Amino acid sequence: MKEKLQTLTIAGSIALIISSCGGGGNSISEVKLIPVLSGKEYQYIDREGKIIINPQFREASVFREGLGLVRTSGDESKWGFIDEAGQYKINAQYKEATIFSDGLAWVVSENGAPEAINTKGEIQFNLPETEKVKVFKEGLAAFSTINEDGEEKWGFVDKKGTIVINAQFTETSNFNNKMCAVSNNDGKWGFIDKEGKILINHQFDFADDFINGKCVVNSGGKSGVIDEEGKYIINPQFKSITIDGDMFFVNQDGKFGWCDKEGKILINPQFSHAFPFLGNKITAVQSGKSYGYIDMEGKIVINPQFDIAMPFNGKLALVTSSNKIGFIDKEGKYIINPQYDNISKDYIVYKSTGKSIYESIKTDFFNISAIISRINFESPEGLSFNSKISDVLDKFKKSQQDFSKYGREHLVISSEKITNDATLDFYILDNPWVGNYYNYTFNKELNLTSALINNCLSINILSA
């Protein structure tokens, strides 16, 4: 049962990746050290199957910029960075971390805010007011904050930590080709330049990154491709599209195939699962219940025989057989026999899209300053000893029906988001109704002096 679940984990990751919109594009670099699971811990092997770094990690990434992001396997596991010899270049000391990109990585320590470090582990700057951050691309990194209305908004910082585009977008992608997809308050996507100027108006339901002057977008539940002016190269007509060199990898009615830049089908959508070529001359497809490989004309060159198969990594391709992972050559012969229990999801994502599962992190910093700035302890919500119930009604747009006749606890602000760590509840703890069961009178002139003295105004900061 355990082995079956491990195989299903790989299959689930693959299904998620290939059903997503966009990604792909340029050929993807060969991975020299492959993170595979042996038992309960990850190790790194070379392309001949030799163990280069012993099993010891709970999680392990593909190497980028000479460093691998790994997580220790202890009870209080931490993240750190190793070199290709398996030696820690940056000690495992972080609660969260991203891969390196543009020479920087984001890290978060216990109860800390995101910090940008260089490849020596030296802190370049931190962002204490930030909720989330994404890796640097083309010199800029997306960050999010919580605004006064409790909404999460995204902006961009440069490699010195200077905010160059204010937090104003509901979502963002990453900069590529000097452009970045961003979403507005209506959930529509457009594109900005590195100064935040709108280059393509917000009009799409979703937009990916530009690759060589082309970008996958979604409109009306269908995917198409636009140029840098926002004009359609391929009209929205497919369930999903991936830019695949000079071709386009498409999902049409749940089947995968390829089309050209005019949208003309080159390889009929006929495969239940498949991968883009990504610079290779052959790629993995599912035919029936098994995976094999086709060439760029759609001809089968390695017969379907594997439980799962992935794109080639140089001269090797990952396949699974009998619930174990191995690697074959371009003739379908095993170079590394099926023997591993799993492979890093980061490897799957990288070899499928060129991206990483470790591209963003969330702060662990409890932002007390944001809470204090939101709450005026001397005059909570602008109320004072001289305020009356009528002031509460006007300020919070309440009526007497919002106050129960039978209780002293009246909620006037409910779960207002201050940060990702805290929400605000605001109560009036007094009863402005006077009388008995047969005859109640609402006293809106009730003065809050006694209420305040008796702690009848209550602010609760709740864990989000």
Q: Are residues 266 and 353 in the same domain?
A: yes
Q: Are residues 218 and 355 in the same domain?
A: yes
Counted domains in the chain: 2
- In the predicted model, is pLDDT for residue 271 greater than 60? yes
Q: Are residues 298 and 256 in the same domain?
A: yes
C-alpha to C-alpha distance for 224 and 222, rounded to whole angstroms:
7
Over residues 300-312, the mean pLDDT reads: 95
Range of the domain at 203: 2-362
β-bridge partners, 79: 71, 94
Q: Are residues 332 and 383 in the same domain?
A: no
Amino acid letter at 427? Y
Of 50, 94, 49, the closest CA to residue 71 belongs to 94
pLDDT score for 457? 42
Rounded to 10 degrees, the C-alpha dihedral 379/381/383/388 comes to -160
Q: Are residues 354 and 381 in the same domain?
A: no
Q: Where are the beta strands (DSSP E) in 73-214?
A: 79-82, 88-94, 96-97, 105-108, 115-117, 123-126, 132-134, 140-146, 152-158, 163-169, 171-172, 180-183, 189-192, 198-204, 206-207
Over residues 85-93, the mean pLDDT reads: 98
Distance from chain centroid for Cα 111: 21
Q: Are residues 357 and 380 in the same domain?
A: no
Kindly indicate the confidence band of residue 8, based on its pLDDT and cuts at 50, 70 and 90.
very low
Percent of the chain clearing pLDDT 70 (strictly above)? 89
Q: Are residues 354 and 373 in the same domain?
A: no
Q: Are residues 56 and 164 in the same domain?
A: yes
Asked whether the beta carbons of 457 and 451 are under 8 A apart, the reply is yes
Region of poorest pLDDT, from 96-100, 153-157, 203-207, 211-215: 211-215
- In the predicted model, is pLDDT for residue 452 greater than 60? no
C-alpha to C-alpha distance for 202 and 190, rounded to whole angstroms:
4
Kindly indicate the confidence band of residue 63, based on its pLDDT and cuts at 50, 70 and 90.
very high
Q: What is the pTM of this model?
A: 0.80
Q: Are residues 314 and 434 in the same domain?
A: no
| Domain edge (last residue) among 333, 362, 391 | 362
Q: Are residues 28 and 102 in the same domain?
A: yes
Of 302, 308, 301, the closest CA to residue 274 belongs to 308
Tens digit of pLDDT for each residue in 392-450?
A: 899 899 998 888 888 888 888 888 877 666 778 888 877 888 887 778 888 888 877 54
Q: Are residues 45 and 84 in the same domain?
A: yes
pLDDT score for 60? 98
pLDDT score for 379? 79
We report the CATH number of the domain holding residue 116 as 2.130.10
β-bridge partners, 106: 116
Amino acid letter at 426? F
Of 57, 35, 9, 21, the closest CA to residue 351 belongs to 35
Q: Is 39 left (phi over 0), alpha (psi -120 to 50) or beta?
A: left
Tens digit of pLDDT for each residue in 337-357?
A: 999 999 999 999 999 888 999
Q: Are residues 299 and 323 in the same domain?
A: yes
